[in-house]
Amino acid sequence: MVEPSAGGKRHRVVIIGSGFGGLRAAKQLKRADVDITLISRTTSHLFQPLLYQVATGILSEGEIAPTTRLVLRKQRNVQVLLGEVEEIDLQANTVTSQLMTMRTVTPFDSLIVAAGAQQSYFGNDHFATYAPGMKTIDDALELRGRILGAFEAAEVTTDHDERERRLTFVVIGAGPTGVELAGQIAELAERTLAGAFRTIEPEECRVILIEGAGAVLPPMGEKLGLKAQRRLEKMGVEIQLNAMVTNVDYMGITVKDKDGTERRIECACKVWSAGVQASPLGKMIAEQADGTETDRAGRVFVEPDLTVKGHPYVFVIGDLMSVPGVPGMAQGALQGANYATKLIKRSLKGHDDPATRAPFKYFDKGSMATVSRFSAVAQVGKLEFGGFIAWLAWLVLHLYYLVGYKNRLTTVLAWFITFLGRSRGQMAITSQMIYARLAMQQLESHKEALAAVEQAERLERARGAS
Ligand SMILES: Cc1cc2nc3c(=O)[nH]c(=O)nc-3n(C[C@H](O)[C@H](O)[C@H](O)COP(=O)(O)OP(=O)(O)OC[C@H]3O[C@@H](n4cnc5c(N)ncnc54)[C@H](O)[C@@H]3O)c2cc1C
């Protein structure tokens, strides 16, 4: 049973993250006699599966990222705090978060960590400058700026090679995100942009999908992978398998093929969708819990009840947990949140004994990926299917899981315009979309340099005083 909070206050639950796991956990505790603090570094609940549609001008960022505090406005037992969690102390039972210069220490009785994962460049973080990933709204908007900006630059340049470089789009990683993005860039050029330029033919652009493994959509199996591959190829997407990207620079990428030969692809717009790395909070927790470790991607090997060893009310869920058979997908996070909150609620009634808890059981509801309008591939249990039926299933499911009636309505409208017509409603781009990340990185390194100088000055003063 959980201990009552100090001072006789209500049981305090801290949730880190406002993604699938964090938001579901907060909602599941709606009627529980608890005080919840949900801390997240973003103000919104991001529906990551549709990020590629923001990047390719179909949806606006607001449609896939409603504001968390507005979603939870009527749930009086939740406070939403914006901030970057920098410290979790499992001895003191506190979470420390930072917003600008403001530091907040929040105590907890139960903790649910749903901080997810970020892009991984497998130790080549410098690739990020030229090949952004797709994990955040900033990423999607930057990509929209880069994709549409490349067509604009191709129209203006008079140099033939440079025009070809600008009209070559490379997507690295042929998982669901890579497949969906490559398909949408091809469709954008073919249906929306065709006829809108005078010196270029957008539909003649090259879209290349590169994959290190020997198949498209490796986790979905050979049959569906081949189906998706054929559909993409029909749309003009070039698929290059068994190809490892060994370098990324401003002008293009270097690729190493299976036989060891290296070659260049000159391209202006490249996207990284090849790997994920769990939030560093996973390692921070594991280091404080004796006998708890993380896997190579930084996910925490949790106990069968999703807790960390020795801390029966510290749950790690979603993309940050490592549980055999549970993929890094929305269902894993949602079901983990349902399970953890059920235990907290049971414990409030005195019905929870950590020693005899039934382990978390994942129910696989299947997976799917869209390839183009009217075409998707889906896997539900042993059933594998593709084409229009799979696309319809994809449409309905994504609408069901989108948060907010208004968002569902405007999304249906945007899909109607895009999939039945040729136009897209979100084609505006700004310089900030393209350059802001680099400017922010410079600002960060400037701040770090400034902090180092201040630290050196403090040490100097201390030495002088002694
Ligand atoms: C492009 C893309 C497409 C995808 N498509 C699909 C799909 O089609 N189907 C599917 O099932 N899954 C899909 N996924 C995977 C799915 O989105 C994830 O499995 C799911 O989001 C995991 O939920 P989570 O709650 O663990 O983490 P997330 O949803 O990633 O949420 C993490 C939260 O933690 C916050 N956070 C992180 N670190 C900190 C910190 N230090 N301090 C404060 N807050 C922090 C973040 O701001 C965020 O709110 C896709 C993912 C991506 C990126």
Closest atom of ligand 1 to 368 CA is 8
- What are the pLDDT digits (tens) for 172-207? 999 999 999 999 999 999 999 999 999 999 999 999
Please state whether 195 falls in left (phi above 0), alpha (psi between -120 and 50) or beta: left
The predicted pLDDT at position 4 comes to 45
| pTM summary value | 0.93
Query: Measured in angstroms, how far is the CA atom of residue 278 from the centroid of ligand 1?
Result: 10
Rounded distance, CA 19 to CA 287, Å? Answer: 24
Going by CA atoms, what residue is nearest to atom 35 of ligand 1?
17
Between β-strands 84-89 and 94-99, what pairing exists: parallel, antiparallel or unpaired? antiparallel
The predicted pLDDT at position 8 comes to 57
Q: What angle do CA 131, 133, 138 make, to 5 degrees?
A: 110
C-beta of residue 78 within 8 angstroms of C-beta of residue 36: yes
Ligand 1 pocket list (CB less than 6 A): 16-22, 39-42, 48-49, 51, 84-85, 114-116, 134-135, 176-177, 279, 281, 318-320, 328-331, 333
The predicted pLDDT at position 439 comes to 84
Query: Measured in angstroms, how far is the CA atom of residue 457 from the centroid of ligand 1?
Result: 41
Sign of CA dihedral 13, 18, 23, 25: negative
Substitution candidate for ligand 1 out of 48, 135, 224, 391 with most atoms within 8 A of CB: 48
Beta-sheet strands, E only, within 108-210: 110-113, 117-119, 168-172, 206-210
Query: Measured in angstroms, how far is the CA atom of residue 24 from the centroid of ligand 1?
Result: 12
Sign of CA dihedral 438, 444, 448, 451: positive
Q: Which tokens go with 113?
A: 């960590």
Query: Measured in angstroms, how far is the CA atom of residue 117 from the centroid of ligand 1?
Result: 6
The predicted pLDDT at position 451 comes to 82
The predicted pLDDT at position 452 comes to 83
Closest atom of ligand 1 to 318 CA is 26
pLDDT along the chain (466 residues), means of 10: 57 98 98 98 97 96 96 97 98 97 97 96 92 95 97 97 98 96 97 96 96 93 94 97 97 97 97 94 96 95 97 98 95 97 97 95 93 92 92 90 86 91 94 88 82 84 78
Rounded distance, CA 176 to CA 448, Å? Answer: 37
Contacts of residue 393, defined as CB under 8 A and 6 or more positions apart, other chains included, come to: 368, 376, 378
Residues with catalytic roles: 180
Substitution candidate for ligand 1 out of 52, 220, 329, 398 with most atoms within 8 A of CB: 329
Q: Which tokens go with 119?
A: 């892009």
Query: Measured in angstroms, how far is the CA atom of residue 266 from the centroid of ligand 1?
Result: 32
Rounded distance, CA 180 to CA 49, Å? Answer: 10
Rounded distance, CA 225 to CA 315, Å? Answer: 35
